[in-house]
Amino acid sequence: MAMASLQGKVAVVTGGSSGIGLATVELLLEAGAAVAFCGRDAARLQQAHAALRERFPQARLYTATCDVLSQEQVQAFSAAVERELGAVSMLVNNAGQGRVSTFADTADEAWAEELRLKFFSVIYPTRAFLPQLRKTGAEHGDAAIVCVNSLLATQPEPHMVATSAARAGVHNLVRSLATEFAGGDAPRVRVNGILIGLVESGQWRRRYEARPPEQQDQSWRQWTAALAQKKNIQLGRLGLPQEAARAIMFLATPLSSYTTGSHIDVSGGLSRHA
């Protein structure tokens, strides 16, 4: 069931071919929005597009291969989206993965790569789509950016030191952008984020398949429940991509029209300090 009617609205989701990104695309389409999404893997994009087209045959849908760390590719994607679907009113910055490393074994090159990935996967799409967002904000009264971040931003892990530091920076960037985009004479654009904990993904499925011999008798549900207990997740399980997507949907739409500079915790109560 759609949470809001988005007929006539255009949304963009980066990293939209799988996981949380794809779940967000599905919710937006269910609500009637025209949706563009991008990713680096052309085969995965094509597969996702075909599945969505079968489910939503009348949808206005656009996909393109795009590396969000290439400003030129992001600018070209932005122009193509406006040409194909119209001006964007919702941007979901979702690209980016984590790096497992401690301070001692993180080389300078790895630090630079991780910081660039986390910051510029937000900076380049925001810069490219901001004129469209301001335009639709002026015309329709609401435009929004949502950044998918991690709980590492506020609860850093020592084995993910570079990612934790970069995530904290993006957390601050969201608040800074929210302030800047709400001031001045230009039409306002809301900026918010979500902080995800452990969410079911192909990565966790692969870890389950590679579990040690003493865990071979555990079902997926039992294995993830044990993981949740170990990680102090109060709800006792991993999250679903759809659950993160619902929070994104709230922040991207007029359902949250009086919310900016905020973050929603979507972690099942995960806390290393409980």
- 8 Å CB contact between 245 and 127: no
From CA 59, how far away is CA 234, in angstroms rounded? 38
Q: What is the pTM of this model?
A: 0.94
Question: Amino acid identity, residue 272?
Answer: R
Rounded CA-CA distance 158/114 in Å is 15
Ordered by start, the domain boundaries in the chain are 10-198+239-266, 200-238
pLDDT at residue 1 in the model: 45
CB-based contacts of 219, cutoff 8 Å, min separation 6: none
Query: Using one digit for the tens of pLDDT, what is the confidence trace for 125-136?
Result: 999 999 999 999
Q: Tokens 């949470």 sit at which residue?
A: 3
Q: What pLDDT shows up at residue 274?
A: 45
* Secondary structure (H, E, C), 82-148: HHHCCCCCEEEECCCCCCCECCCCCCHHHHHHHHHHHHHHHHHHHHHHHHHHHHHHHHHCCCEEEEE
Helix or strand or coil: residue 166? Answer: helix
Q: How far apart are CA 260 and CA 190, in angstroms?
A: 5
Its CATH architecture, for the domain 10-198+239-266, is 3-Layer(aba) Sandwich (3.40)
Are the C-beta atoms of residues 152 and 167 closer than 8 Å to each other? yes
- How far, in whole angstroms, is CA 104 from its chain's centroid? 29
Question: Would you give the DSSP letter of residue 52?
Answer: H
Regions of the chain with pLDDT less than 50: 1, 274
Strand 61-65 vs strand 190-196: parallel, antiparallel, or unpaired? unpaired
Structure confidence at residue 98 (pLDDT): 83
Residue located via tokens 């904290």: 168
- Measured in degrees and rounded to the nearest 5, phi and psi for residue 146 equal -125, 130
What length is written for the chain? Answer: 274
Q: How many CB atoms are closer than 10 A to CB 82?
A: 18
Using DSSP's 3-state secondary structure scheme, residue 27 falls into helix
pLDDT per residue as tens digits for the range 192-203: 999 999 999 888
**Residue written as token pair 């949304």:** 11
The residues, ordered by sequence, that sit 6+ positions from 57 with a Cβ below 8 Å of its Cβ are: none
